[in-house]
Structure 1
């Protein structure tokens, strides 16, 4: 049960990070699913550097970040210092929503 909760929190954190990192943009049929940010969970919840897959997902989900930031359940994760650090490392600017 704990690993499911940890996984859900990590995915939410990753999604929030992506929202912070990227600003609103138009994209080609991006499906906004916070679970797409799961590869970023370790980097957001620890001091581990983001993986290439994390950065790729952050860039893909960039158009969705404001949506994630506006979600009260995700906002704290996206606004976390680690989330901002991951977004900066991945070259995804934090959006102003």
Structure 2
């Protein structure tokens, strides 16, 4: 496993341990050398969905991981958004 695949695996594991499901709650993938993720459920789609961004942030911070803006043109949030704000609005961010 390459180091970026290891980070991707670790991020998925952290989120899974926090009760966040891959695809239905959060999507994670590799873009170049970045591990990128986003919240995959809109707040109105099901009960408890509005809490998912906060749970993601809490789980990542608890594991010592930080957020950064995604640099890929394909998945980057608008340039004036902080990573936590971008995550809460359904944009992709990266593990920094």
What TM-score do the two structures reach when normalised by structure 2? Answer: 0.35
Structure with more contact order per residue of length (Cα contacts < 8 Å, sep ≥ 6): 1
What TM-score do the two structures reach when normalised by structure 1? Answer: 0.35
Structure 1 or 2: more helix by fraction: 1
Report the structure number with the largest CA radius of gyration: 2
